[in-house]
Structure 1
Amino acid sequence: MNRITLSEKGIDIEIPSHWDEMNKNQLLFCMKQAVMCTSGIVSVDEAKVRCFYHLADIQRDYKSVAIEKVMSEEIVQEKNSKALLLAEQLCGFMFKENEQGQTEINYDTIYNHFPFLLSGKVKLHGPMHLFADLTFGEFRAAIEEMKEFFQSKENSDLNRMMACLYRPERSDYDKVKKRDDFDGSIREPFNRARIGINADYFKQVSHVVKTAILLWFTYMVDYIQKEDLVLGGEEVNFSGIFQGGESEGRRPAGSGWITVLHQVAKQGPFGDAEKTDKMGLFDVLLYMKDCHDQNEELKRKSRKK
């Protein structure tokens, strides 16, 4: 949190310094401004100022607007420059520039701030933080649908990607949640044949929310390829298995994960391709890492000979 004190307005408050510190209303408001900015509807400076005013709970009512009209232009410009400076300092974390110098939304969080969505009366349940409960099949399908969306820019393809991650409550939930062997899964089992059916639910979900989920997913894909993770109480880094290109069987994108699926299934630790797809994402990645580490060790030994 950042503390802001404006004595002339009697303001002494804390405002979020990251997406993870926002409440749901704050996050939705700021994400909407960010989406409007990257869509060219408002400038990045205006988006930051709007977010600053909202997070600081500074109201611009008809009185403040009327007062500005009787102020000199010099005083108004000074006031606006101060607001912009504060907005840049306190809300600059929401944006970043890509390699082409274009402004992008910097939604750098491992937390799923939308654990469930409402589509009319239907409640759609999503993945846990850090993809903790995502299966390899769900992850692979979402990657493939995301790739289609990036190529087509069609909302229908984005909806299909969302349907790989969010689904209605499983029909037997009330019964299985009482069992000792309950796996904790609320969502109906993933079924590729139902992607199109479940995608229809997202016609009633706002574009802002879907954008936030898409940004979270893309950030998480990059995160698990590069950063240290703690799994089962131990620190793990998967960067070794994602180095290089697809020609080496690494850093797969889209259909490249099909190759990974068949490679893992062929070696048989989890069973055939269908059973492998139902395994947890990190179970498969840990197996891939173990194979990679063993191969690297064999290479080191062969070089010493």
Structure 2
Amino acid sequence: MHKIEIPHENNSIEFPESISEMNTDQYIMFSDLAFKFTTQQISYGEFKVQLTYILLNLERKVDMAIESEKTNRVAENVYRVSELMESFFRTESKGDKKFKIIKLEDIINHIPFFTISGTKYYGPKDALTSCSFGQYIQASNALHDFYNTKEEYHLNILVDTLYRPKGEEFNNESVDDRPDVHVNTSIGVKYGVYLFFAACQEWIVTNKKLSIGGGNAVDLTVLFKSNKPKDPLAPKGIGMLSALYAIAESGVFGAMDKTADQNLYDVLVYMVEKHNEVEKIKRDAKRKKSTNVSG
């Protein structure tokens, strides 16, 4: 947590230093600003200033359009505090330009559910541990489609894919069939879901030691080494749809629909095991060839 001392009031204010320290309301308001920044509705500086007011729970009581000693003092103090908002960003280079990117380091779902017209829609558990592989593929496609187009339609698909009423199973055919949810869900919730999924995706594709119990771990990064995006600003992990077909063809989980129904991590671990088996065969063949040449 950031901490600001207020000497004349003998008081201090604490506010989040990272997404993981936000409550749900703060996260949704942060996501609303992040969407506006991403779609170029507000500048980076305005993002930081507005976020300062949100996280410190302040109201703009001074008319900043009227210059005075008071407004100048308020503006200076807000600006100084807003510089602490840098902790939510990292800098990436693309060509000769630098871009501010939100740090995706939190795999906690800050929006476990939302309510529309009296119906609660429940999302995945932290780190997508409750997701099926089919959900993951569908959501991953929506993630990249939004990144490429910035069209809200793809955020609707993402929300439809990951959130549903209790007891309702994921069905690919029912996605994009909830117009009331699309209209009545705030952009802060929609983009908050996007940021959560993007963070989980980044955690998965960079995870070298996924614990699978019994003191064992697997390296998931071997599945994504050939899928690095050319765009350094793009979300990680493009190209997993082809993997779904490959696994379905193997028949280990059954047909395509059965594969899609499997837990995401069960499928990922299986893919790593198969990858390691292939690599071992390659090494053995190379070793055998080397031995024959030497003989």
Would the TM-score normalized by the shorter structure come out above 0.5? Answer: yes
Secondary structure of 1:219 counterpart: helix
Counterpart residue number, 2:258: 275
Q: Distance in 1 between matches of 2:29 and 2:237?
A: 35
1:155-174 equivalent positions in 2, closer than 5 A: 155-170=152-167
Counterpart residue number, 1:220: 200
RMSD: 2.7
Contact 2:26 2:55 in 1 (8 A): yes
Larger RCO, structure (CA 8 Å, separation 6 or more): 2
Letter matched to residue 98 of structure 1: E
Secondary structure of 2:42 counterpart: coil
Q: Distance in 2 between matches of 1:160 and 1:221?
A: 17
Contact 1:107 1:212 in 2 (8 A): no
Gaps of 5+ in 1: 171-187
Counterpart residue number, 1:178: none
Counterpart residue number, 2:46: 46
Kindly provide the CA deviation profile for residues 104-160 of structure 1, in whole angstroms up to 9, marking residues without a partner as x. 333431111111112222211111110101001111122233344444443333212
Counterpart residue number, 1:88: 83
Deviation at 1:219, TM superposition (A): 2.3
Q: Tell me whether 1:229 sits opposite 2:210 in the alignment.
A: yes
Q: Distance in 2 between matches of 1:10 and 1:58?
A: 18
Counterpart residue number, 2:129: 132
Secondary structure of 1:35 counterpart: helix
1:1-305 equivalent positions in 2, closer than 5 A: 1-61=1-61, 71=69, 77=72, 80-89=75-84, 91-100=85-94, 101-170=98-167, 188-198=168-178, 200-227=180-207, 228-232=209-213, 234-245=216-227, 253=238, 256-305=239-288
Task: Using the aligned pairs only, state the percent identity.
Answer: 27
Paired residues, number: 275
Gaps of 5+ in 2: 229-235, 289-295
Secondary structure of 2:175 counterpart: helix
Deviation at 1:239, TM superposition (A): 0.4
- Alignment CA distance shift 1:60-1:151 (3 Å): closer
